Amino acid sequence: MNPNQSLDGKEGKESFDCPPPQDILQGEGVLSRIISAEPCPLCGEAVHLQFSMLEHFPAGVILTSVPEQKVLYQNRRFIEMFGYTIDEFPTFEEFCHLAYPDPEYRTWFSGEWKRRLVTAIGKPMEIDPMEAGITAKVGTVRFVRIHATLLNGINLITFFDLTNRRKTKDALHSKTQELDRVKAITAELNQANLGLREVTERLTLATKAADMGVWDLDFSNSLVTWDDKMFQIYGFPKMIPMPHENWKKSVHKDDFAKVWSSLLRTVENKAYDKVEFRIFRPDGQLRWIAEAQYVVLDDQGEVVRLVGTSTDITDRKLAQIRLSTSERHFRAFFERPLVGMATMSPERSWLEVNNQFCQMLGFSREELLRQTWDDSTFPVDQARNQAKLNLILAGKIDDYTTEIRCLGKNKNILYAQISVSCLRKEDGLVEYLVVLVVDVTGQHEAKEQLRKAAYHDALTQLPNRRLLLDRLQQAMAKARREKGALAVCYLDLDGFKAINDKLGHSSGDQLLIQVANRLKSCVRAGDTVARLGGDEFVILLNKVADVDECQQILERLLKSVADNYIIDNTEQSDISTSIGVTLFPGDLADPEILLRHADHAMFAAKQSGKNRFVFFDGIE
């Protein structure tokens, strides 16, 4: 600006016919000079001065075209307040999408703004101011009063920041808010002409609501109104009316059914009710809420409104849970520290596991907590274990002990004795279960080894005489029922003693193992190959159709046993076998006598030249 020129454009006796103030903003050409700080061709500095005033204006300012609402300019204060730049919102409509994340609130604001804008178009006038909460780029909400003035196709919009004023006001009146709530509720009750009892109950609730939020559902228009404390409890930006869907989405999915039931019960019974439930705030925080609700009736006794109070009881609830959990876990986990221990939900998810249990199964604690009990249990045992667990869940028993097989990380099987007990809530439902796990794999393996040793030959792992007689007894009974036949074949090796004496017992044992494997390869799946001791074997052939089938199997046995053997890297060819055979039911004897008859027939095969089979002829 020329230092000799005054603000009104006069210098000495000369003056410039500068455009009137509202013409300053007329037309995109002059507007571009404002934004770029170019001098006006008439007065030289006036536009720069206007631009400087906008830049240093204490409120946020944007300029938009009308009716397109294209954003043409924003001042520095606007950027400081909200953090958005023109590049992020080319139009005012797009600014609304950034400033009002909630779609319902945005729809309401945009509709109201357009209504006021349409009313003012064509008239150089100020649009009715509005107050709103705008979400800044950093996520905070600023409360502002929005003014707008139409200047020949340009909309000058200013945003006066009320946030600090509002905070100051809230701080000054924090001690009196609850009293105001009491007065408001009292006036509402009196206006509705409710009885003294309802007035007293509501005043009592309001008096105790030093840290309570109050909500109101009007049945005539289905609008839900929240006070400031409700928005604080739920962590929502303040909006009027409160969208009901926002509240429904915030309630924990596992608790929604009981909350809804409580509301329905209040309306149906026209009585006071209360409920505790969990919510998720928009930032992900889990909070516990205690809610009380009651109805407002009209003169005909019909429900016209539902009023409630909500209190954030998270700290108290967490303290109770920590204390209760600490006491229960101390008793459950540390009384038996040498066993695997875990807590489990009624849905069979692991809640907590100790190190011993993790070591038993080979999982880390994090891996195991991502599994369920079914994942850790051998499939065959799941149904049996679930049946017992169902008895606990049904309240018929409180604990049980059983033995199951658990699956380790490498799919190895762990034999475990488990003891399951439950902790119930006040309503009798199971809160969680305590599982004690004792590894009995070693005992089970030892038991299995003893059982196997009692029924199997230690060298060849074939059934011994005891198991053979048991199977023979069962096979004979089955043959009687089905009118079938079986054969008992008694084998004695030819030439075994010479090799055993010549090469030693170790080589003899190798030979016996090879012979056992060859015998098993020659018979069918349902047949039994047993070793009685030394070089004597017995084969039980089940379901023999006739003598011809039996002879075919015997021929295979003779040929297989007579093939050469490799013992200590030396080929041996002097081994064969003599076989005595008796058929049942042709030979109607008991198992021991059948073996003796087969033994006699084997001796006859030896006498007849070895390496052959002979059927028992009925003469001992």
CATH number of residue 588's parent domain? 3.30.70.270
Summary mean pLDDT of the chain: 81
Weakest-pLDDT range from 101-115, 329-343, 388-402, 495-509: 329-343
**Are residues 488 and 584 in contact, defined by beta-carbon separation less than 8 angstroms?**
yes
Residue 444 is encoded by which pair of tokens? 């089970």
pLDDT band at 490 (very low <50, low <70, confident <90, very high): very high
Do 370 and 288 lie in one domain? The reply is no
38: exposed, middle or buried (Cβ count in 10 Å: 0-12, 13-18, 19+): middle
Within 10 angstroms of residue 58's Cβ, the number of other Cβ atoms is 9
Give CA separation, 483 vs 66, 73, 480, 543, 550, in Å. 105, 105, 5, 10, 17
Do 471 and 578 lie in one domain? The reply is yes
Do 101 and 210 lie in one domain? The reply is no
Last residue of a domain, one of 124, 140, 167: 167
199 vs 369, residue with greater confidence? 369
Do 483 and 599 lie in one domain? The reply is yes
Give CA separation, 200 vs 195, 217, 265, 270, in Å. 9, 20, 22, 16
Do 464 and 611 lie in one domain? The reply is yes
pLDDT band at 328 (very low <50, low <70, confident <90, very high): low
Do 117 and 191 lie in one domain? The reply is no
Which pLDDT value is given to residue 21? Answer: 42
Write out the residue range of the structural domain in which residue 416 sits.
Answer: 338-444
Distance CA 64, CA 485 (A): 105
Give CA separation, 320 vs 259, 286, 288, 317, in Å. 21, 16, 12, 5
Q: Which residue has the tokens 């279960």?
A: 433
Distance CA 24, CA 44 (A): 13
Reference 95, options 132, 135, 129, 67; nearest CA is 135
176 vs 128, residue with greater confidence? 128
**DSSP-assigned states of every residue in 441-459:** HHHHHHHHHHHHHHHB-TT
Is the per-residue pLDDT at 224 higher than 90?
Answer: no
Do 508 and 562 lie in one domain? The reply is yes
99-145 pLDDT, tens digit per residue, is 788 888 788 887 887 777 776 665 555 677 888 888 888 888 888 88
264-293 pLDDT, tens digit per residue, is 898 898 888 999 999 999 898 999 999 988
Last residue of a domain, one of 167, 197, 224: 167
Strand ranges across the sheet with 486-494:
528-533, 536-541, 486-494, 576-584, 613-615
Query: pLDDT exceeding 70 applies to what percent of the chain?
Result: 80
Do 610 and 464 lie in one domain? The reply is yes
Residue 118 lies in a domain: yes
- The CATH number assigned to the domain holding 105 equals 3.30.450.20
Rg of the chain, C-alpha, whole Å: 47
Query: pLDDT exceeding 90 applies to what percent of the chain?
Result: 28
Residue 131 lies in a domain: yes
**Are residues 287 and 278 in contact, defined by beta-carbon separation less than 8 angstroms?**
yes
Is the per-residue pLDDT at 223 higher than 70?
Answer: yes
Do 133 and 271 lie in one domain? The reply is no
**Are residues 33 and 49 in contact, defined by beta-carbon separation less than 8 angstroms?**
no
263: exposed, middle or buried (Cβ count in 10 Å: 0-12, 13-18, 19+): middle
Is the per-residue pLDDT at 191 higher than 70?
Answer: no
**Strand locations in 393-525, DSSP E?**
399-407, 413-424, 430-439, 486-494
The pair phi, psi for residue 519, each rounded to 5°, is -65, -40
Report if pTM > 0.75.
no
Do 469 and 587 lie in one domain? The reply is yes
Type of residue numbered 549: E
Give CA separation, 186 vs 27, 234, 427, in Å. 57, 25, 37
Distance CA 577, CA 531 (A): 14
- For residue 37, the Cα-to-chain-centroid distance in whole angstroms is 60
Give CA separation, 80 vs 63, 76, 138, 616, in Å. 16, 6, 11, 112
Residue 206 lies in a domain: yes
Residue 246 lies in a domain: yes
Residue 195 lies in a domain: yes
pLDDT band at 9 (very low <50, low <70, confident <90, very high): very low
Distance CA 588, CA 485 (A): 11
Residue 271 lies in a domain: yes
Residue 318 lies in a domain: no
43-85 pLDDT, tens digit per residue, is 555 455 566 777 888 889 988 887 788 888 899 999 988 888 8
- DSSP class of 611: S
Last residue of a domain, one of 400, 424, 444: 444
422-442 pLDDT, tens digit per residue, is 999 888 899 999 898 888 888
Distance CA 361, CA 388 (A): 22
Reference 153, options 129, 110, 117; nearest CA is 117
Do 103 and 149 lie in one domain? The reply is yes
Residue 23 lies in a domain: no
Is the per-residue pLDDT at 522 higher than 90?
Answer: yes
Structural domain count, the chain: 4
Which pLDDT value is given to residue 465? Answer: 93
Reference 259, options 274, 241, 246, 244; nearest CA is 274
183-204 as b/e: b if 16+ CB within 10 A: eebeebbeeeebeeebbebbee
Do 498 and 364 lie in one domain? The reply is no
pLDDT band at 503 (very low <50, low <70, confident <90, very high): confident
- For residue 244, the Cα-to-chain-centroid distance in whole angstroms is 27
**Are residues 491 and 577 in contact, defined by beta-carbon separation less than 8 angstroms?**
yes
